[in-house]
Amino acid sequence: MSEPMNTKTREGLFCRIREDIDSVFDRDPAARTRLEVFLNYPGLHAALAHRWAHRLWHANWKGLARFISTLSRFWTGIEIHPGAKIGRRFFIDHGMGVVIGETAEIGDDVTLYHGVTLGGTSWDGGKRHPTLEDGVVVGAGAQVLGPITIGRGAKVGSNAVVVKAVPAEATVVGPAARIILPAACKDAQEQARRDFAERIGFPAYAAQPDLPDPVLAAMRDLLDHMQAAEARMDRMCADLREAGIEVCNKRAGAIRAETLATVQEDESGRG
């Protein structure tokens, strides 16, 4: 009974290796031959080493499993904890700097590029690393942190920092949100800017969480100038009305949100 089981295991292992190699051709046009892929792709080497280390980890040979993963890191520049669960046809392109934590779970047909971290945000035990469902693509330098789920077929842009769950088929880009406008504003001038921005239909004066600080500073200066100009125009209109001249009955229309969205999309496309 033991010989057929060993044969089956061996066939399954070689089938998985062949499957991993073939998956490279679907996602890297630079790949030419199976031999070239087998000898020269560190992502493939790291995945193969992890499969051995993962088996040892669950066979309670944890020290040996960690040793194999450490050798793999030295050889490939890719660090995969042997406890991580990785599905079929997993592909790491280029690979240098990829880190995958112990409780990470990766589905089938997932692609990672160099510099990706699937990391934790807590020192507590239990599930603390992300789950990537089937078909997820994570761009170079992206950081996916915490016990969150990246839905099936989702795409994470290069250098994104993801700390919240991503729905299936969605695409996320950019760094994690940070507070650039506190909810409670104690500064009178800043409050005046907000009130003016809201009055002219420019909510929060386009201060999005990923807006660079120099742009935010420029918007503040622009709003100060607009507020001063409108105050001056109001005084001029009042003087004209006192003189019996009615030329200021119609105020400028509010800035439309869809216009701002178009401008933002155009700017992001140029970047």
Where do the domains of the chain lie? 2-172, 188-270
Which helix (H) or strand (E) element contains residue 50?
helix 42-58
Which of the residue ranges 18-27, 42-51, 214-223, 248-257 has the most confident prediction, judged by mean pLDDT? 42-51
Amino acid at 89: R
pLDDT band at 180 (very low <50, low <70, confident <90, very high): very low
pLDDT band at 18 (very low <50, low <70, confident <90, very high): confident
CATH class of the region 2-172: mainly beta
**Residue 188 token pair:** 């009178």
Confidence check: pLDDT of 100 > 50 = yes
Task: Report which of residues 54 and 190 the model is more confident about.
Answer: 54
95, 79 Cβ separation under 8 angstroms? no
Report residue 228 CA to chain centroid gap.
40
Predicted confidence (pLDDT) per residue in 128-168, tens digit? 999 999 999 999 999 999 999 999 999 998 889 999 899 88
Mean pLDDT, to the nearest integer, of 76-104? 93
Q: How far is Cα 192 from Cα 197, in angstroms, rounded to an integer?
A: 8
Q: How far is Cα 206 from Cα 254, in angstroms, rounded to an integer?
A: 14
